[in-house]
Amino acid sequence: MDGLIDTDASNVSIKDRLNLLRERRFTWENLQWKIFPAESFSDSYRAYDFAGGVYAALEGSNDFTAFTLPTKTCEGSRKSHHLDFPARDFAMDPTQDLVVFLGEQAVNDPAIYLYVRTYESIVPHPHSEQSRILVHSQTRPDACMVQIADNHLALAWNDHDETELSIQIWDWKSGTLIHDQLLEDSGGRSESFTFLSPRTFAIGVKKLSGYISIWNLDSGTEVSRLCFPEMIDGEWCIHRVSVDTPPFMARPRPNHAFMVSPTHRIHTFSLSYTGSAGSLSLQVYVPNGFLLSCAMSLANSERNDSSIDVPWENWGPRNTRIRELGPQNYVDCHK
């Protein structure tokens, strides 16, 4: 119901869950909130994330601050930690007591590391055999994206001129590298990478009219290309594709009546165009369940490169919502 699933850990009765769900639906439909708590954060953060009811930010290279949002039954809480290593980005899954930091390269040491820590106390995670994972890169990564999906940890990055996209995926518990991919002249950016599930991922690509490239991790192959709408020839040229996706939560948050089903997450693909008339920005909202169905159905069939392209008219109108953005419009992930 409403894309939510029950949590076995909750001690809330079915009747109370239904009443709570109806109350929240009314609140969102009418934007009527009962309380308005406020929490201040520095506007000089280097990176931020919002996952599992927790907003966290990295200020500078060493100061990590996390704020657990209040709920109807729980007060919010805030905590800060000073890292003993410089970091440039992070991803977290509070339901696994997990946060992974992407370390900053030292001047005299070109090595890049991912630091696997507990969310609660920022110490080496007890379930990880390697608290520091080496990134295998021959060049200095420029734009980067760190993501977590269950026991899988991904780092996607571009080189300086954005002609190559590198993707490496580890099992963060064993520290084993399970996927290492270099896409040359792919038209993909690190900010266009997203997990669909622990075994599948997608990349927004700006080649041609732009498309969503879906990959199966088990086979290491591209299984589908969902093409974006073709623009009037010569009128508009796509120059950027990025995606915002709610983080993947491995399990329910403690003492919560329900959680968002992973298949009901919404991927927001932002498309930027330039043309003789100026610039144009579109957002395409795609349900995770639909992308997963494409990955599963196409992975189970034998297809060649020419047949994995799916024109927009065969998938987009029935399975997406699309809107044009003005200069002040911005949508972040899934509300």
- In a domain? residue 38: no
Residue 33's pLDDT is what? 77
- Whether residue 200 is found in the same domain as residue 263: yes
* Interval 31-90: pLDDT, tens: 887 777 777 777 777 888 988 889 999 988 899 999 988 877 677 888 999 999 999 999
- Whether residue 58 is found in the same domain as residue 165: yes
Residue 158's pLDDT is what? 83
Distance CA 191, CA 162 (A): 12
- Whether residue 178 is found in the same domain as residue 216: no
Residue 137's pLDDT is what? 77
- In a domain? residue 40: no
Q: Work out the pLDDT band at 298, boundaries 50, 70, 90.
A: low
Q: Work out the pLDDT band at 316, boundaries 50, 70, 90.
A: very high
Contacts of 285 (CB under 8 A, 6+ apart): 266, 267, 268, 269, 320, 321, 322
- In a domain? residue 331: yes
Residue 262's pLDDT is what? 74
Beta partners for 241?
271
224: helix, coil or strand? strand
Domain's final residue, options 142, 170, 185: 185
Residue 215's pLDDT is what? 93
Residue 21's pLDDT is what? 82
Q: Supply the Cα-derived Rg of the chain in whole angstroms.
A: 21
Q: What is the DSSP track for 241-304?
A: EEEE-PPPPSSPPTT-SEEE-GGG-EEEEEEEEEETTEEEEEEEEEEHHHHHHHHHHHHTS---
User: Among residues 153, 126, 115, 124, which one has the least CA distance to residue 250?
Assistant: 153
Distance CA 15, CA 36 (A): 27
Asked whether the beta carbons of 114 and 135 are under 8 A apart, the reply is yes
Contacts of 159 (CB under 8 A, 6+ apart): 139, 141, 142, 166
- Whether residue 91 is found in the same domain as residue 232: no
Distance CA 335, CA 333 (A): 7
- Whether residue 62 is found in the same domain as residue 9: no
Contacts of 124 (CB under 8 A, 6+ apart): 116, 117, 118, 131
Highest-pLDDT range among 14-28, 142-156, 245-259:
142-156
Domain's final residue, options 185, 213, 241: 185
CB burial readout 222-251, b (16+ within 10 A) else e:
bbbbbbbeebeeeebebebbbbbbbbbbbe
Residue 331's pLDDT is what? 41
Domain's final residue, options 162, 185, 208: 185
- Whether residue 243 is found in the same domain as residue 120: no
Residue 297's pLDDT is what? 66
- Whether residue 179 is found in the same domain as residue 217: no
- In a domain? residue 306: yes
- When divided into structural domains, the chain yields a total of 2
- Whether residue 77 is found in the same domain as residue 155: yes
Distance CA 323, CA 195 (A): 23
Number of Cα atoms under 13 Å in the Cβ half of residue 198: 11
Q: Work out the pLDDT band at 140, boundaries 50, 70, 90.
A: low
* Interval 78-137: pLDDT, tens: 899 999 999 999 999 999 999 999 998 776 777 889 999 999 999 999 999 999 999 987
Domain that holds residue 57: 45-185
- Whether residue 325 is found in the same domain as residue 195: yes
Residue 9's pLDDT is what? 55
- In a domain? residue 313: yes
* Interval 204-221: pLDDT, tens: 988 888 999 999 998 888
Residue 8's pLDDT is what? 63
- Whether residue 233 is found in the same domain as residue 177: no
> Does 148 score more than 90 pLDDT?
yes
- In a domain? residue 235: yes
Q: What is the mean pLDDT of the chain?
A: 83
> Does 30 score more than 60 pLDDT?
yes
Residue 121's pLDDT is what? 93
Residue 136's pLDDT is what? 83
CATH of the domain at 143: 2.130.10.10
Q: Work out the pLDDT band at 332, boundaries 50, 70, 90.
A: very low
- In a domain? residue 130: yes
- Whether residue 269 is found in the same domain as residue 300: yes
- Whether residue 155 is found in the same domain as residue 169: yes
- In a domain? residue 112: yes
Residue 247's pLDDT is what? 86
